[in-house]
Amino acid sequence: MRLGAVFPQIESGVDPTAIRDYALAVEAMGFDHILAYDHVLGASTSTRPDWSGPYTSESVFHEVFVLFGYLAAVTSTVELVTAVLILPQRQTALVAKQAAEVDLLSGGRLRLGIGVGWNDVEYEGLNENFRDRGVRSEEQIALLRQLWAAPAIDFQGRWHTIANAGINPLPPRRRIPIWIGGYSEATLQRVGAMGMAGFPGDHQLRICAPRSPACTSMPAWPGAILRRLVSNRSSRPFERPKTSGKDMSAGGAISARPISA
């Protein structure tokens, strides 16, 4: 079992030194990864009295790729995980470029967890379609994988056209692990078949459908608990509890399983 710490986005504040110390403490305690949520825009409740979303414009959210670029420089072993990057509200080629850069600078420590999101205010502000975000993300995944694998590609899809162009630098392994959550079983099967076609036997794409009995999950580490751990950290290595050997994804935001399971 691998254990990760959830980066406390809304509790993190804006002090770069505190963010650095948090990441170093997590790494020193032996956690396998640092997981960060993604939101670009927060909705103000001043004109939305019935707002029911968990986050607002009052909530601090560090931009995940910039944050991970910083953490790549101050850490050396801990994996950097998005859970989840809201892929359909972002330009696909730009995501490929940013992810490849973080993966390069971190020495191949990026895992890209993606989802479709719930905040239509965010989609409107980023000029993306909220209604087709699920099916559009299938094409985005296919394009990401091709952009990471070759110096220049030709791609013609429903929403994307790239004519003999590519990103540079490429990720060191020419691929980045993609985990997805919150999709229907049918979508996951289509994406799974598409994702594995180019890399047979390589479990770099992992999926989990909502409420799927095949998936297991662990509760997130609350920010308050992690703050106490950081303030009371010692040089003693972090001891993981004994487990049944099941592969589980920490963080609570998504659960995941290999697509071959």
pLDDT at position 2 is 85
Average pLDDT over residues 61-79: 97
pLDDT tens for each residue of 121-131: 999 999 999 99
Q: With a cut of 70, say whether residue 90 has pLDDT above it.
A: yes
Q: Which of 232, 252, 219 is nearest to 29 (CA)?
A: 232
Per-residue pLDDT of 131-177, as tens digits, reads 999 999 999 999 999 999 999 999 999 999 999 999 999 999 999 99
The structure's pTM equals: 0.74
Nearest one of 136, 134, 133, 135 to 124, comparing CA atoms:
133
Structural domain spans, the chain: 4-258
Arithmetic mean of pLDDT, 16-43: 96
Residue 140, Cβ neighbours under 10 Å: how many?
A: 22
Q: Is the pLDDT of residue 201 over 50?
A: no
Average pLDDT over residues 173-183: 84
Among residues of the chain, what percentage have pLDDT more than 90?
68
Low-confidence winner among 40-54, 84-98, 114-128, 215-229 (lowest mean pLDDT)? 215-229
Q: Could you give the CA distance from residue 61 to residue 69 in angstroms, rounded to a whole number?
A: 15
Nearest to 12 by CA among 84, 87, 63: 63
Q: Between 50 and 215, name the one with better pLDDT.
A: 50
Higher pLDDT, 152 or 260: 152
Higher pLDDT, 145 or 246: 145
Looking at residue 211, its pLDDT comes to 42
Q: Which amino acid is at 132?
A: D
Domain spanning 4-258: which superfamily? Luciferase-like domain (3.20.20.30)
What does the block give as tokens for 90?
């972002």
Q: Above 50 in pLDDT, residue 216?
A: no
Secondary structure (H, E, C), the chain: CCCEEECCCCCCCCCHHHHHHHHHHHHHCCCCEEEECCCCCCCCHHHCCCCCCCCCCCCCCCCHHHHHHHHHHHCCCCEEEEEEEEHHHCCHHHHHHHHHHHHHHCCCCEEEEEECCCCHHHHHHCCCCCCCHHHHHHHHHHHHHHHHHCCCEEEECCCCEEEEECCCCCCCCCCCCEEEECCCHHHHHHHHHHHHCCCCCCCCEEEECCCCCCCCECCCCCHHHHHHHHHCCCCCCCCCCCCCCCCCECCCCCCCEECCC
Six-digit token string for 194? 């598409």
